[in-house]
Structure 1
């Protein structure tokens, strides 16, 4: 079976105990499908063959019913479109059962996603949300619209359809064990996959559609942590006994590594995951609902405002959980990733209070930077925290980077400390208690599950520190870019140039008027005015030199950070890839000595980054440059006020020279008219603090600030 007509055999997608799934592509139309076949009947008894035939025919019928629902794999109907090809498939099929034809999903399945190195300790929060949301919709549709209980939910049966833009749609498949959901609990056969079916399936054999909620909870825990919750290395009997005795709020059970055969109920997620803090807290509360051993409580239903029928409490609380919007922030100076739930009612003052509380920085020192291409463009007085939330930026997985050929920013906002000498610190990484005991030889067990667990714990530390380094580097780069943009868009340069142009024109006109009037004597008033004019021109050159020097500095910083981002952005700083391959990927096992050696190497590399890293050195330089740019704007209101004063004196001298002309307007009107024509508004806030100063005092104040900046920046104004 390699090809028929335009249909080309592309290979096997999967194979189980009795069947296989094959991938086909139509050479003419480009259409792709998956066909499901039975390949073994001989190993089954006659009764088993009858049961298999019944289930197969039901799956065939249901697949053809699922045509328009986006989160269930649709059956493909070729009866009219290509009857010849359909006859070809069915003629070669065992047991005279129809071949099941399904839409082809090109992204593999969720099991494969969990087996990738980056997901050893669970998926990123975005993907966890997407999968759970898709499963919730698929199960609600099956339970309410089709009256079907799936009975075999597991990551292997959630397939991925990836679009041309890289976005993924998750679809439920494999209805071989599905059956019509009974209205009441019924005695049924033990079906499903070990670790995913509910306790009542084995304990009593009496169950209903609430078994799907249990499987949903198991999958959710596995998506978030990368492992099954209930001692998967133990025997089915041991697992069942512990499940039947677990407390209501218990979401996982582990074995005590220091006391074999002793099992510990867990009420929280392990720290090794990729969920945000607020989501993880609510997710943990939700897990208690589907992982309730009493199926009557697990299947509890409530009235829903937006549903025609009642909805399960499991789904209602999951909806609330998935609606949560978590704003991600990286505080560069203390190397902390911050995560806050944002709502329409939350204000920026509320957000700042939270940041201050978690970082220890003063609210007056906080400086915020939006990542490049943020849809909100820039922060304004009316900006709210919810405006800063970008849902698609929650997807920071390496898989998405690969397909999109670009990476989303690691966070939605960066915050910095705004002062001349900024403080820098970083929280110490936290290795699990289990791994620390293992390194110190306090645990003698060499069981496979334990060795794998401690290796995963250290890998999580390596991965998190790598992510932290990437966030720090991206934040420093964004700081340099925003500083450059701020300097380029600086309105003061244009205002200073405008004032300089009009003042110079007025002064030149006065000089021409004096020359035409053949005024030769340099009277004291003219000398005083000339001195003021030359002083302000010189001072203006210095201010402009500061701005230009700042801009050149910022452009240099952007070039440097761009290069660092290119050189270090994707570098495996802590050698996590090698560690994974050696102790997890290839079946290797780790010893206490090897774990301690790897931890020591990590600590050494991290210490070098903290003390001698190029990124931190560059960040400090950008901090200082930003501070100097901020300070260099302080003399501008003084300067603009001085321009107004000196232009007034120039026009007063004009009027004195023109006063003998009888046709001239009254002096006050002439002065007012001249000022209207030549004085340009600064467009900045009122310079009230300087209004009481005379011209000389204003120049002295500006010169003092300018001298300070010259000393600090060592800029040659020439």
Structure 2
């Protein structure tokens, strides 16, 4: 079975105990489909074959009913042009049952996603949210609209379809074990995959749709941590016995590494996951509900809806809805090397957010300096900014896959926080050492338990991955601060504005100096300006010029430094892609590690800050120094503006005095010197805001008024927002 006319077999998508799923493409239309086939029934008895046929026809019925549902794989009905292809498929099918034709999902399944090395400790929070949201919608439709219990929920049965824009849609499939579950009816049979079915399925064989809630909880735990929650390495009997012992707040059972006969009932999530703290805290509460061994508590309905007479919603769904609506603002605190996350709401204030940051970083409120990543939609933090404005939903997707496939990958966090102080202190990053790693590191501890060694490898993978993530965030934070500093200098045109003032003042000063020289040489002009006037002007001019040039030099130094650091951090980000040799560790040890290998790896892969990390921290101190220089330059601008105002005032006053004396002298000479003076002053451009034609009138009030007006315009043009 390779092709039929325009239909070409592309490969096998999956295979189970009795069936397989194939991928086909129509070479003419480009249409892609998946076909589900029974592969082997010879090993089944007659009764089992009858049950298989019944389930097959039920699944065929379901898939045809699920058309156009976004989170359930739908059946496909090919047109008359493909009738011969359908007949070809059915003619070669066993048991004389019709082949099930389904929509093709091009992204594999969630099981394959979990098996990727980068997902060894669970998926990113964004992916966990997306999958649970899709699963919740699919189950709600099955339970409420179709009155169907799926009975075989597992990551293998959640497939992925990639859209053209790169986004993913998760869809529930495989309804071979689905069965009608009308209200008040309890199903009786042991079905499903061992690690995913609820305790009551094995204990009594009597259950209802709440078994799907349990399976959903198992999947959720596995998505978040990368592992099954209830001692999956143990025998089915041990698993069931311990499940029946567990309390309602227990979400996982682990074996004691010191005593294989002792089991530990866990009421908290392990630390090794990629969830943010606000989400993880509520996720834990939801898990306790979904993984309650008592199916009655697990399936409880919202009481308010029961009393109001409306259709009750299972609490496990309504609580999940609230969980998925939590908006988490992610932050990296540079000085403490900490990843922070806070749930933000519409009524939360920046003062409240600032208080949380101070609490978790030990910074004073005045020291909290925030930097938004490049291309943040909010652009700038203002007095009217709310924490919710800083949240960017699209940037929640920090999965490795998205970072690799996106042209402009999202930043690792939505906000960077620095210590705004001339005495910045940086903490060394702390390795995420697990309890099991601490237990196994001493040479006195010995074990050959496969689950302990497997868990050791996963814990060390997590530690190295988190250290790499911290270095990435730290470097990106430095680069973002350098980019912000460059943007502040260039956008506000500090250098250009200072330079314009220097040139304008110099031109005005030199013009008046030439006029004074001309007045001395042309004594008949009688322009009376004393030497003390000129000395005062010259001293003020020199002082102003020196201050302005020093400020300009500071801004230019900051600009050069910012650009150099931006270039350097970009190079380091490329150079430090795997600074802790995570890829080498995964290649050698992720599949399994011995205690000796683990203890050797602890030293090899450096749990303490490496030289590379220390180098990165030195780069951070460089941007601190530049930013401090920038702030000092801005503060000095006010002094420079005052000096510019003084020099302009003196220039205006001397200009007025020279014009006035020239006017008095013009009555006694044949040529009109004032007109010559006005012609010379007409070449003076004051910051492109007018020329000396404003002084053509020799009336004292007019001259002073015009001088003051230009002074105010110059001041306004040079106004600088403080930081």
Q: Normalising by the residue count of structure 1, what TM-score does the alignment of the two structures yield?
A: 0.90
1:557 aligns with 2:590: no
Q: Residue 528 of structure 2 contacts residue 657 of structure 2 at CA under 8 Å; is this kept in 1?
A: no
Give 1:412's aligned residue.
414
Give the C-alpha shift of residue 488 in structure 1. Answer: 1.2
Give 2:606's aligned residue.
603
Q: Residue 182 of structure 1 contacts residue 209 of structure 1 at CA under 8 Å; is this kept in 2?
A: no
1:682 aligns with 2:688: no
Give 1:313's aligned residue.
315
Give the C-alpha shift of residue 481 in structure 1. Answer: 1.4
Distance in 1 (alpha carbons) for counterparts of 2:108 and 2:640: 66
1:591 to 589, 594, 598: 594
Give the C-alpha shift of residue 107 in structure 1. Answer: 0.6
Q: Residue 419 of structure 1 contacts residue 624 of structure 1 at CA under 8 Å; is this kept in 2?
A: no
Give the C-alpha shift of residue 486 in structure 1. Answer: 1.4
Alignment of 1:242-641 (within 5 A): 242-302=242-302, 303=304, 309-511=311-513, 513-514=515-516, 515-516=518-519, 517=525, 519=527, 523-568=531-576, 570=577, 572-585=578-591, 588=592, 590-603=593-606, 606-610=609-613, 613-641=614-642
Alignment of 1:53-202 (within 5 A): 53-202=53-202
Over aligned residue pairs, what C-alpha RMSD do you find?
2.3
Q: Which moved more, 1:402-411 or 1:272-281?
A: 402-411
Shift of the 521–44 alpha-carbon distance from structure 1 to 2, 3 Å rule, reads closer
Residue 259 of structure 2 aligns to a residue whose secondary structure is coil
Residue 159 of structure 1 aligns to a residue whose secondary structure is strand
Shift of the 577–33 alpha-carbon distance from structure 1 to 2, 3 Å rule, reads same
Distance in 2 (alpha carbons) for counterparts of 1:635 and 1:399: 48
Give 2:652's aligned residue.
651
Shift of the 604–99 alpha-carbon distance from structure 1 to 2, 3 Å rule, reads closer
Give 1:702's aligned residue.
none
Distance in 2 (alpha carbons) for counterparts of 1:405 and 1:529: 58
Give 1:238's aligned residue.
238
Distance in 1 (alpha carbons) for counterparts of 2:529 and 2:127: 84
Residue 590 of structure 2 aligns to a residue whose secondary structure is helix
Residue 335 of structure 2 aligns to a residue whose secondary structure is helix
Give the C-alpha shift of residue 276 in structure 1. Answer: 0.9
- CA deviation vs aligned residue, 1:146-177 (integer Å, no higher than 9, x gap): 11110000000000001222211100000000
Shift of the 652–106 alpha-carbon distance from structure 1 to 2, 3 Å rule, reads same
Give 2:704's aligned residue.
671
Q: Residue 367 of structure 1 contacts residue 418 of structure 1 at CA under 8 Å; is this kept in 2?
A: yes
Give the C-alpha shift of residue 443 in structure 1. Answer: 4.2
Distance in 2 (alpha carbons) for counterparts of 1:304 and 1:68: 29
Q: Residue 148 of structure 1 contacts residue 179 of structure 1 at CA under 8 Å; is this kept in 2?
A: yes
Residue 262 of structure 1 aligns to a residue whose secondary structure is strand
Distance in 1 (alpha carbons) for counterparts of 2:659 and 2:442: 96
Shift of the 427–538 alpha-carbon distance from structure 1 to 2, 3 Å rule, reads closer
Give 2:679's aligned residue.
none
Shift of the 404–430 alpha-carbon distance from structure 1 to 2, 3 Å rule, reads closer
- CA deviation vs aligned residue, 1:460-487 (integer Å, no higher than 9, x gap): 1111111111111111111211111112
Give the C-alpha shift of residue 665 in structure 1. Answer: 5.7
Residue 413 of structure 2 aligns to a residue whose secondary structure is coil
Give 2:689's aligned residue.
none
Shift of the 104–307 alpha-carbon distance from structure 1 to 2, 3 Å rule, reads farther
Q: Residue 221 of structure 2 contacts residue 227 of structure 2 at CA under 8 Å; is this kept in 1?
A: yes
Shift of the 510–137 alpha-carbon distance from structure 1 to 2, 3 Å rule, reads same
Q: Residue 217 of structure 2 contacts residue 290 of structure 2 at CA under 8 Å; is this kept in 1?
A: yes
Q: Residue 429 of structure 1 contacts residue 461 of structure 1 at CA under 8 Å; is this kept in 2?
A: yes
- CA deviation vs aligned residue, 1:210-235 (integer Å, no higher than 9, x gap): 11000000000111111111111111
Residue 270 of structure 1 aligns to a residue whose secondary structure is coil
Q: Residue 499 of structure 1 contacts residue 680 of structure 1 at CA under 8 Å; is this kept in 2?
A: no
Give the C-alpha shift of residue 65 in structure 1. Answer: 1.1
Residue 70 of structure 2 aligns to a residue whose secondary structure is coil
Shift of the 282–312 alpha-carbon distance from structure 1 to 2, 3 Å rule, reads same
Q: Which moved more, 1:498-507 or 1:458-467?
A: 498-507
Distance in 1 (alpha carbons) for counterparts of 2:252 and 2:295: 17
Give the C-alpha shift of residue 445 in structure 1. Answer: 3.1
Q: Which moved more, 1:302-311 or 1:515-524?
A: 302-311
- CA deviation vs aligned residue, 1:45-76 (integer Å, no higher than 9, x gap): 11111111111011111111111110001111
Distance in 2 (alpha carbons) for counterparts of 1:532 and 1:668: 25
Distance in 2 (alpha carbons) for counterparts of 1:664 and 1:189: 106
Q: Residue 74 of structure 1 contacts residue 103 of structure 1 at CA under 8 Å; is this kept in 2?
A: yes
Give the C-alpha shift of residue 406 in structure 1. Answer: 4.6
Q: Residue 498 of structure 1 contacts residue 680 of structure 1 at CA under 8 Å; is this kept in 2?
A: no
Shift of the 500–275 alpha-carbon distance from structure 1 to 2, 3 Å rule, reads same
Distance in 2 (alpha carbons) for counterparts of 1:82 and 1:304: 49
Give the C-alpha shift of residue 435 in structure 1. Answer: 2.1
- CA deviation vs aligned residue, 1:320-356 (integer Å, no higher than 9, x gap): 1111111111111111111111111111111111111
Q: Residue 371 of structure 1 contacts residue 412 of structure 1 at CA under 8 Å; is this kept in 2?
A: yes
Q: Normalising by the residue count of structure 2, what TM-score does the alignment of the two structures yield?
A: 0.90
Give the C-alpha shift of residue 591 in structure 1. Answer: 2.5
Give the C-alpha shift of residue 583 in structure 1. Answer: 2.4
Q: Residue 439 of structure 1 contacts residue 593 of structure 1 at CA under 8 Å; is this kept in 2?
A: no
Give the C-alpha shift of residue 505 in structure 1. Answer: 4.7
Distance in 2 (alpha carbons) for counterparts of 1:81 and 1:101: 15
Give 2:677's aligned residue.
none
- CA deviation vs aligned residue, 1:284-337 (integer Å, no higher than 9, x gap): 111011111111111111156999732110001101111111111111111111
- CA deviation vs aligned residue, 1:475-510 (integer Å, no higher than 9, x gap): 111121111111212344344345445534543453
